[in-house]
Every structure is written in C-alpha cells, then in structure tokens.
Structure 1
Amino acid sequence: MIVRKHMGRASPILLLLLAFGFFFATYNLLTMIIHNKASNLGSWVVDGVKRSGELNSKFHVALTATDAPYSQWQCRIMYYWYKKVKDMPGSDMGKFTRILHSGIPDKLMEEIPTFVVDPLPEGLDRGYVVLNRPWAFVQWLEKATIEEEYILMAEPDHIFVKPLPNLAHGIKPAGFPFFYIKPAEHEKVIRKFYPKESGPVTDIDPIGNSPVIIKKSLLEEIAPTWVNVSLRMKDDPETDKAFGWVLEMYAYAVASALHGVQHILRKDFMLQPPWDLEVGENIIIHYTYGCDYNLKGELTYGKKGDWRFDKRSYLTGPPPRNLSLPPPGVPESVVRLVKMVNEATANIPGWDTLTSDTDQK
C-alpha cells in the first residue's frame, strides 16, 4: 500500500518529466533534420521558384564566342540584357565572361568581360565551329579565377527576359529539355559512346550544354569528357550524319550521363520563337529559328509581305537599329523578341560601327 501511495504521488512528476523529455527529443530531431537538409544542399521556395539551399548560390554567366561579326553583335545584345536584369530582385546572377575561342583579343574586350582561349588545332573541328565550345570551357575552367560556385553555360543568341534565379539543386544541375534531342531514338549510335554497362539510354537527358546551371566543380569533371566525346562523335561518319548540327549537344548529354549526372529539366528556362508562341513565365529567349510566318502559317515576306527576322540575315554585320515590328498575326513571342533587340541596339554605344576585326589585323 505504501508503495502504491508513493507511486500515485510520483505520477504527475513522472508525466511532466516524460513530456519535457519528449519535447526536447522532438526539438533535437527537428534541428538535426533541418541541419542535415542544409548540409545536403536542400531547397526552399520563394515566390514560387525553387531556390538552391546553399548560402553561395550565385552563378557565373559564361558563353563561348568567336570574333566574327555574327557572334559579336549577338554577344553585345546578350550582355546588354544581362546587365539590365542582373541586380533585379530574384536574381542569383553573378559575374559575366565571354569565352573567346578565336585565340586572339578582339575589339569587344573593353566592352564585354572576355577571357581569350585557343581554338582547337587547325582542321580538327572540320568546319563545325561549335566543336570549340567544350575545349573552350576546359581551358577557361583551368586558367580563370571564378568566384562563383555555379556556372550558367549560355550562348550569344540568348536574351534574358527577367532575372534568373539559381535553378540548380545542390550538385544536381538544371537544364532545358530540347524536343529534338532524343537519345532513345538513336540508341544504336549512342551505344558507341555510352556502353550498356553505363546504364540505360534513358539516363541520358534530352539537353545540350546550354542553358545549364551547374556546380563549377562538377563541370570541371565533365568538361574533358565532353571534349573527348565530341571529337569521337565527329570522327564517326554514322554519328556525324545522325546528329548533324546538334552533335555537340548530344556529346554534352552523353558526357554528363557518363559521370552519373542527371539534370533537373526546366521547360520555363527558355523559349524559342516562333516555335513557342508566347513568352509567358519563361526566362530566356533563344532566337535560333527564323521568324517569317504568322499564326496562320502564311509567309510574312516574299509575295505575302516584306517582314522577317532571322539572325542568319546578319552574318557579316549587325542588324540595324529600330527594326520594323512584325505585322499583325505574328506570335507574341516574336514581337517581344524584336522589341528587346531594338531596345538593346538603341542603347549600345557605337552599334552601327561594328565591323569585322579582319579589317584591323
């Protein structure tokens, strides 16, 4: 009876101790989970955009280029819009580098931050100048001082519509899925460079190297493989024929898969007028296609009219300031593109004086 009496008196204290212990254990457990997520580069959502969990989430904007006028005027427009959006709210954009793989400085050195690297040995690219891209990144990563922990691989014909957050998730990079990169449909060719023991072909992402936001240390591992795969693909007639102008894109996709890397696929990373009809919430305009049709499929030049915008119309020099706007019935994305090109060309000093550097050598 005495024992029961004392047990009855001790029960409230015991319950209080148990409750306190449970609270303390729960608090520690939650703290450990939060700390573990942070150390494993977790993520959180701000304004509906998934953000990197690292304190240093800035990324360096890097694009490869030549000294040809065609490349120069695109770089000038791209750099204008980078500066326009870089410091806006929601941006994780760091410094900017044009990786010039012509081997010698050009006239844009003072206008655009530039790092000069060597091209591939003469004849090795077989006229496919894009093959210099992976080799340029290898050299830049080895020789340059890059403060940011991440890198955005971009291209001259990219225009930033709005500030770009870091879409990568720790060591998992973010890339744009291209509808025309289809590794599974080219399994026979892909297996020459991605053997069965490496995994299923479906592990290869439908991407190119650009746009991709990737951890710098990871790109340092992938880039040499990217070079080797690109050269091997170009040397193989069957592969060269199968992949054509997107060969280097397939090479990056294969190289990253060989390193066990898969990308977060973000369709909102980029749009490509006029294939994509509206800008919407997309971040980058990639003007790779000629814009010369309206929504009815009618040509806007020739017998039907005289309007078009195609970057290939300006291979030897820049487009003029104040391009005429598209006629009614052309996709909104094309109208937006032309307006953004016009704003850049109106505000870049000396726009009309850009000529070939070969005149000065």
Structure 2
Amino acid sequence: MYYWYKKIKEMPGSDMGEFTRILHSGSPDKLMEEIPTFVADPLPEGLDRGYVVLNRPWAFVQWLEKAKIEEEYILMAEPDHIFVNPLPNLADGIQPAGFPFFYIKPAEHEKIIRKFYPEEKGPVADIDPIGNSPVIIKKSSLEEIAPTWVNVSLRMKDDPETDKAFGWVLEMYAYAVASALHDVHHILRNDFMLQPPWDLNVGKKFIIHYTYGCDYNLKGELTYGKIGEWRFDKRSHLTRPPPRNLSLPPPGVPESVVRLVKMVNEATSNIPGWDTSTNG
C-alpha cells in the first residue's frame, strides 16, 4: 500500500496529503523505520474479546487527540488497499465520501439497529451502507464521530444478538450508525474502490481492495470457493509477506486480477530487503 501511495500521490490529479499508519498494538515495530506511524494503545485487555478490529475506533480517537494533523480532510484506508489512480478529494465540503458495501444493509436489520439508533433520529434507511474505510472525511467531522464510533462498537459487541448478526462487520455497522447519529451522511461512490475477482476492470476507479481470494483454473475460469490451479489470496501470506515475482494469472483472467498481481510484484521488487523481511 505505502509503495503505491508514494507513487500515485505525485501524479497529476492527486489531492493526497501525508500518510500515517495507525498501529493499535501499543508497541513500536520495525516497519516504523519505513512508514510514518502513530502507535495507539489497544483497548484494555479482554475488552475486544478476540475481535481485534474493535481497537480501530479507539485508535482513531487517540490519533485525533494526540497527533499533529495538518490536513483538513482525512482518508481512512486499510493495508489491503492499493492505489491505482490519482485520488482527488471526493468529499464535498462537510459531506464525506464513502464506498457502498453490498453486505452492509441497515434496513434489513432494523430491529437490531434501533437498539443504537432511536426512532427520533429518523428512518433506518438514512444510515449509509458503508464502513469507515475507504472514507474521505473532514477532520472536524471525524473528531465528532470517533468517540461515538467507539461507544457504539463496544455496545454492539456487548449485545449477543447484534454480535451474532453482524459478526466480522460489526465495527463497520458501528461507524455507519455513529455517523448517522451525528447527522453525517456520505456521498456514495462506487468508483472509490474495486474488489477483484468480482469487479473485472480497473477503469477510472481509485483503489483495489484485495480482500477476496482469486482462484482460477488454467483456462482462466473462476473457481471461487475452491482452491484454484492458480490463486492469489492474502490469507496465503498471514505469517510471511508474499514472495517476489508471483506468477501471473493464466490467459482469460480479468484485467483487475492481472493488474493487482503486477502491482504487488512491482512493489515487492522495489522495496529493499523484501526477501528477508518478516511480519511484525
């Protein structure tokens, strides 16, 4: 991510500012020598109950309170995002921009949502189908939302019905609800991000999100849910970074997947010491 941030930032049409990696382990790591990093304290032991993402909103609260942030707008992004086109400021004044996720459906969970979003605030349909990332938002707005995001996340995790219904996307729902509680509504930008293998072409979109496994047979046919003869899946590299020079997909695989692998290969070939590095 950081390699492509540095490269894309300098291209015409980019409004990208400085970069901060927010590390919520509470302890420095060796990547801090390479990437500008803010070390945040994790939640008190046991409070996240194994759901490590619950530390994210608390880390943002600390960063906003303690760091010197010169930019007026903040892009929240994640390590499995790769910038593919120069990113302008997609926000419009005080209205932030976000990406609509097909699986964030507040209206289908109205009974649960009402535990955290009272009727006097308006219809559940007013809650955006987003998470906190990718989002471009005014710093002053995020400063208001972040403490509520923490509180809603913790309350959702404490509620067994909500925890079961939302699972690994609970913190995303919490951000969406917290934003709506502050009457902050996002411009929904489908071009903010693409997600291979489902999105086939990069086009003019800005970020590749490589969250899904890309499995294909040698005919270039998708075998999603079954390990392919050719595959790229970040979960294959949980203990060590991927090696340099990953094999390219077979003919017939969508351009988005080919572009993703080529970009990973370019980054790893240009980052010093990649072959000898390990996670942490």
Using the size of structure 1 for normalisation, the TM-score is: 0.75
1:74-132 Cα distance to aligned partner (Å, 9 max, x none): xxxx0000000112111110000001111111001110000111011111111111111
1:191 equivalenced with 2:111 (yes/no): no
1:107-158 Cα distance to aligned partner (Å, 9 max, x none): 0111000011101111111111111110000000000000000000000000
Q: Conserved in 2, the CA contact under 8 Å of 1:301 and 1:308?
A: no
Secondary structure of residue in 2 paired with 1:308 = strand
Alignment match, 1:328: 251
Deviation at 1:356, TM superposition (A): 4.3
Q: Conserved in 2, the CA contact under 8 Å of 1:300 and 1:306?
A: no
Alignment match, 1:279: 202
Aligned-partner Cα distance in 2 for 1:260–1:301 = 43
Q: Conserved in 2, the CA contact under 8 Å of 1:168 and 1:174?
A: yes
1:108 equivalenced with 2:28 (yes/no): no
1:204 equivalenced with 2:127 (yes/no): yes
Aligned-partner Cα distance in 2 for 1:327–1:114 = 38
1:250 equivalenced with 2:170 (yes/no): no
Alignment match, 1:238: 161
Alignment match, 1:166: 89
Q: Which amino acid aligns with 1:193?
A: F
Using the size of structure 2 for normalisation, the TM-score is: 0.96
Aligned-partner Cα distance in 2 for 1:301–1:330 = 16
Secondary structure of residue in 1 paired with 2:232 = coil
Map residues 294-333 of structure 1 onto 2, 5 A cutoff.
296-298=221-223, 306-333=229-256
Secondary structure of residue in 2 paired with 1:109 = helix
1:310-331 Cα distance to aligned partner (Å, 9 max, x none): 0001110000000000112222
Q: Which amino acid aligns with 2:43?
A: L
Map residues 52-71 of structure 1 onto 2, 5 A cutoff.
none
1:11-64 Cα distance to aligned partner (Å, 9 max, x none): xxxxxxxxxxxxxxxxxxxxxxxxxxxxxxxxxxxxxxxxxxxxxxxxxxxxxx
Secondary structure of residue in 1 paired with 2:33 = coil
Aligned-partner Cα distance in 2 for 1:125–1:82 = 30
Identify the structure with the greater helix proportion: 1
Where has structure 1 moved over 2 Å in runs of 4 or more?
293-302
Aligned-partner Cα distance in 2 for 1:316–1:117 = 23
Deviation at 1:296, TM superposition (A): 4.1
Deviation at 1:306, TM superposition (A): 2.8
Q: Conserved in 2, the CA contact under 8 Å of 1:293 and 1:300?
A: no
Q: Which amino acid aligns with 1:279?
A: V
Q: Which amino acid aligns with 1:157?
A: D
Q: Conserved in 1, the CA contact under 8 Å of 2:4 and 2:83?
A: yes
Deviation at 1:297, TM superposition (A): 3.8
Q: Conserved in 1, the CA contact under 8 Å of 2:215 and 2:222?
A: no
Q: Which amino acid aligns with 1:330?
A: V
Deviation at 1:299, TM superposition (A): 6.3
C-alpha RMSD of matched pairs (Å):
1.4
Instruction: Name which of 243, 263, 267 aligns with 2:190.
Output: 267
Instruction: Name which of 55, 78, 93 aligns with 1:155.
Output: 78
Aligned-partner Cα distance in 2 for 1:128–1:84 = 33
Identical counterparts, % of pairs: 87
Deviation at 1:275, TM superposition (A): 1.3
Aligned-partner Cα distance in 1 for 2:66–2:127 = 29
Q: Which amino acid aligns with 2:160?
A: P
The structure with the largest alpha-carbon Rg is 1
**Structure 2: where are the runs of 5+ without partners?**
none
Q: Conserved in 1, the CA contact under 8 Å of 2:23 and 2:37?
A: yes
Q: Which amino acid aligns with 1:174?
A: A
Taking a change above 3 Å as real, the CA distance of residues 299 and 215 of structure 1, as seen in their structure-2 partners, is closer
Alignment match, 1:81: 4
1:239-291 Cα distance to aligned partner (Å, 9 max, x none): 11111111000000000000001000000000000011111111100000000
Alignment match, 1:355: 278
Map residues 205-220 of structure 1 onto 2, 5 A cutoff.
205-220=128-143
Q: Conserved in 2, the CA contact under 8 Å of 1:345 and 1:351?
A: yes
Q: Conserved in 1, the CA contact under 8 Å of 2:98 and 2:189?
A: yes
Alignment match, 1:124: 47
1:189-229 Cα distance to aligned partner (Å, 9 max, x none): 10000010111001100000000000000000000000000
Secondary structure of residue in 2 paired with 1:278 = coil
